[in-house]
């Protein structure tokens, strides 16, 4: 018993060492987005709507980067664990190249289709004009956005979570200062309005991509760029990355019908949902995202060392830590929902709904506490299909299907929606737990590494 406790504590200590820089990075990302919203809010309601609608499409390069980043972190962590430096360097170089090439069509789309993409959502002419300009700039920086995400996860796969934190933190600082300066025309800077906010995004993402690539090529980090020659690595990268991209896009696309469902109950309900969602993401997001990444690193490296049982034990130990901390965050959300929600709205009706949504998310923190590290463990092994199946089925069956049938068809109203949200997250946790306990993820990782074994060092 004492030996097991020491093993758990050692894993928790390692997880904390890996997680806190990621948590800081995620907090700064959220702060950057908040500043964008505040600054555009100073222009006009149309500007806020324009950025909001454009950001629906900006999810595409984000999901591309996260998908390829998952492939990069899986292969780099496994190859770091088994000491296969050449295979690891080829994997991250290919991920960077694929990411850059995948972003090029988005530049063309931004130059030719930005305004029509906003118009098709039913926006008024002024929103289309501003949103089209903003989206064109965001899409122009798409390759850089993807490279920055892939580079960060490549470094994280080796266990280096501090370099991405410093690079991303600096990039976010540049974004915030540029947004305020170019958006509002402070000092000698031109007053560019919403175009300035878009340029700030492009400048910071370009900085992040260049510095992240330089950090990988620098001898001070464990990684380096290598001439890509092995098609097995290419195939594995694509096979691991595509399900994660599909998983993320399924969540993004589900926002359209779910928001339409909420609007049937009124604008105040829709606004309250977004307030509750922002609150839980601000408080819980840095935690569950950091646990997900840390579990990918630890499990991937442990599998690379040829210790599948230790990898399984590590996944369980990290999940226990995640449940404890996110469970505490859930208690804070549930108990403090009223006080926290008042920061975002003073409208009595919106506030009432926002408190309930926040408490639903608070209860769901336990589900996030299970899903995030377990899904991260599976991804570290190269199994990205199980998390995809979990999120896709949970979203369709419960967040959309159950909420609509119970809330609208059976006329139970918002309680049906609240239950659909909570059940969806619980389903996510249940499915990935089943995949972790009874799936062949360890064997899959061993097969992938065996296929890469002939990449010469």
- Residues 134-181 have pLDDT tens digits of 999 999 999 999 999 999 998 888 888 898 999 998 998 998 998 888
C-beta separation of 209 from 148 below 8 A: yes
- Residue 67: how many CA atoms within 13 Å on its side-chain side? 27
Q: Is the pLDDT of residue 23 over 90?
A: no
Are residue 249 and residue 321 in the same domain, yes or no? yes
Are residue 155 and residue 202 in the same domain, yes or no? yes
Q: Is the pLDDT of residue 444 over 80?
A: yes
Q: Which domain holds residue 319?
A: 241-457
Q: Is residue 341 part of a domain?
A: yes
Mean pLDDT value across residues 66-95 = 88
What pLDDT score does 2 carry? Answer: 66
Q: 3-class SS at 125?
A: helix
What pLDDT score does 333 carry? Answer: 94
* CA-wise closest residue to 209 among 140, 139, 143: 143
Are residue 160 and residue 282 in the same domain, yes or no? no
- Rounded percentage of the chain residues whose pLDDT exceeds 70: 97
Are residue 87 and residue 225 in the same domain, yes or no? yes
What pLDDT score does 266 carry? Answer: 83
Are residue 387 and residue 252 in the same domain, yes or no? yes
Are residue 297 and residue 335 in the same domain, yes or no? yes
- Residue 421: how many CA atoms within 13 Å on its side-chain side? 22
Are residue 455 and residue 381 in the same domain, yes or no? yes
* CA-wise closest residue to 95 among 136, 156, 140: 156
Q: Is the pLDDT of residue 124 over 60?
A: yes
Q: Is the pLDDT of residue 324 over 80?
A: yes
Angle between helices 142-157 and 85-119 (to 10 degrees): 150
Are residue 354 and residue 455 in the same domain, yes or no? yes
Could you give the CA distance from residue 180 to residue 80 in angstroms, rounded to a whole number? 41
What pLDDT score does 392 carry? Answer: 95
Q: Which pLDDT band holds residue 277 (cuts at 50, 70, 90)?
A: confident
Q: Is residue 4 part of a domain?
A: no
Could you give the CA distance from residue 457 to residue 454 in angstroms, rounded to a whole number? 9
Q: Is residue 453 part of a domain?
A: yes
C-beta separation of 342 from 267 below 8 A: no
Are residue 365 and residue 267 in the same domain, yes or no? yes
Could you give the CA distance from residue 323 to residue 373 in angstroms, rounded to a whole number? 9
Q: Which pLDDT band holds residue 455 (cuts at 50, 70, 90)?
A: low
Q: Which pLDDT band holds residue 370 (cuts at 50, 70, 90)?
A: very high
Are residue 225 and residue 288 in the same domain, yes or no? no
Q: Is residue 62 part of a domain?
A: yes
Q: Is the pLDDT of residue 457 over 60?
A: no
Q: Is residue 247 part of a domain?
A: yes
Are residue 378 and residue 404 in the same domain, yes or no? yes
Choose the final residue of a domain: 229, 258, 288. Answer: 229
Q: Is residue 362 part of a domain?
A: yes
Are residue 177 and residue 282 in the same domain, yes or no? no
Q: Is residue 14 part of a domain?
A: no
Segment among 7-16, 28-37, 424-433 with least mean pLDDT: 28-37
What pLDDT score does 103 carry? Answer: 93
What pLDDT score does 325 carry? Answer: 96
Q: Is residue 160 part of a domain?
A: yes
What pLDDT score does 1 carry? Answer: 62
What is the pTM for the complete model shown? Answer: 0.88
Choose the final residue of a domain: 229, 257, 276. Answer: 229
How many structural domains is the chain composed of?
Answer: 2
Choose the final residue of a domain: 229, 257, 273. Answer: 229
């Amino acid at each position: 018993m004492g030996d097991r406790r020491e093993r758990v504590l050692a894993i928790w200590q390692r997880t904390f060492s890996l997680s806190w820089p990621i948590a800081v990075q995620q907090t700064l990302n959220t702060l950057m987005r908040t500043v964008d919203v505040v600054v555009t809010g100073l222009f006009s309601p149309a500007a806020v709507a324009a950025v909001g609608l454009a950001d629906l499409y900006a999810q595409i390069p984000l999901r591309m980067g996260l998908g390829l980043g998952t492939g990069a972190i899986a292969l780099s962590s496994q190859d770091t664990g088994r000491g296969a430096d050449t295979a690891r360097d080829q994997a991250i170089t290919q991920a960077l190249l694929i990411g850059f090439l995948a972003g090029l069509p988005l530049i063309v789309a931004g130059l030719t289709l930005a305004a029509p993409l906003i118009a098709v959502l039913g926006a008024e002419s002024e929103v289309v004009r501003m949103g089209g300009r903003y989206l064109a700039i965001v899409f122009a920086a798409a390759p850089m956005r993807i490279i920055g995400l892939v580079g960060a996860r490549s470094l994280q796969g080796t266990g280096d979570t501090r370099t991405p934190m410093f690079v991303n933190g600096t990039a976010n600082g540049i974004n915030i200062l540029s947004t305020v300066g170019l958006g509002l025309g402070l000092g000698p800077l031109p007053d560019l309005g919403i175009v300035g906010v878009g340029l700030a995004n492009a400048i910071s993402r370009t900085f992040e991509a260049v510095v992240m690539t330089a950090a990988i090529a620098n001898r001070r980090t464990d990684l380096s760029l290598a001439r890509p020659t092995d098609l097995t690595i290419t195939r594995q990268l694509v096979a691991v990355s595509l399900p994660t991209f599909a998983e993320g896009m399924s969540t993004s696309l589900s926002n359209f019908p779910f928001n339409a469902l909420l609007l049937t109950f009124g604008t105040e309900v829709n606004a309250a949902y977004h307030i509750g969602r922002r609150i839980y993401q601000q408080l819980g997001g840095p935690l569950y995202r950091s646990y997900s990444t840390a579990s990918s690193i630890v499990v991937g490296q442990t599998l690379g060392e040829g210790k599948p049982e230790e990898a399984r034990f590590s996944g369980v130990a990290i999940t226990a830590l995640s449940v404890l901390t996110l469970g505490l965050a859930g208690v804070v959300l549930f108990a403090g929902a009223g006080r926290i929600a008042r920061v975002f709205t003073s409208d009595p009706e919106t506030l009432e709904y926002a408190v309930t949504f926040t408490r639903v998310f608070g209860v769901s923190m336990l589900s996030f506490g299970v899903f995030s590290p377990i899904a991260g463990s599976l991804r570290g092994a190269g199994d990205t299909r199980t998390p995809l199946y979990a999120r896709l089925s949970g979203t369709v069956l419960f967040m959309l299907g159950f909420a609509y049938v119970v809330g609208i068809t059976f006329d139970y109203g918002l309680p049906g929606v609240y239950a659909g949200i909570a059940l969806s997250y619980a389903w996510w946790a249940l499915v990935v737990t089943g995949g972790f306990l009874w799936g062949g993820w360890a064997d899959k990782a061993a097969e992938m590494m065996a296929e890469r074994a002939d990449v010469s060092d």
